[in-house]
Structure 1
Amino acid sequence: MADLTPERQRDFEAAAFRRLTEHLRTRSDVQNIDLMNLAGFCRNCLSNWYRDAATAEGVELSKDESREIVYGMPYAEWQAKHQTDASPEKQAAFEQNRPKDH
């Protein structure tokens, strides 16, 4: 790759993460179960990965803190504003395709 230093790679990855989280914030119509059923990850997964990365560097974040970073607001607030009940079909698809590490 064209002179991609580890620092530039980190910066580009961070920019991509920020863009992804902003995109997910603007697409509150897309439910986490839809993301899980289609892609095998959701906003909560992203917040868990963020927390795992912080922990690996010796920074302790709570689940609520890492979710607020991803959601852009407290998780309970996001749920109240945007979360809808999943249909039985979506729940069944999730149970059938659920990743083993969730």
Structure 2
Amino acid sequence: MDQEQRTEIEARAFRRLVAHLQTHTEVQNIDLMITGDFCRNCLAKWYKAAADEIGEELPYADALAAIYGMSYDEWKTRFQTDASPEQLRQYEEKQKRKEAPSA
């Protein structure tokens, strides 16, 4: 596989991931953070960083819209729910484990 083919495959996989996240709005960002240590906002930041790396101007709001399929504010209004006490506990526990020094 050459670099062009690899880039095309990666782009297709990325677009599929974004479409999957846009379809599964029931999956909250905190769920993604707990299980995968990333969320839609992280993905938008990575998307913007990739644009920056090639010298392409991409406002963060546009990167968010590319990932969410709508403005971030609209997504929050339509789909975001308050984190449950259990979700917050799991998230905080995960953060503590990340901060703990390795043995």
TM-score in terms of structure 2 length: 0.88
Match of 1:53 among 46, 50, 53: 50
TM-score in terms of structure 1 length: 0.89
Q: In the alignment, residue 75 of structure 2 is paired with which amino acid? A: W
Cα RMSD between the aligned structures? 1.3
* Alignment-derived partner of residue 28 in structure 1: 25
Percent identity at matched positions?
46
SS in 1 for 2:38: coil
Q: In the alignment, residue 36 of structure 1 is paired with which amino acid? A: M
CA–CA distance in structure 2, aligned partners of residues 59 and 94 of structure 1: 34
Q: Which runs of 4+ in 1 moved over 6 A?
A: none
Match of 2:4 among 1, 4, 7: 7
Aligned residues: 97
Q: In the alignment, residue 71 of structure 1 is paired with which amino acid? A: Y
Unaligned 5+ segments in structure 1 are none
Unaligned 5+ segments in structure 2 are none
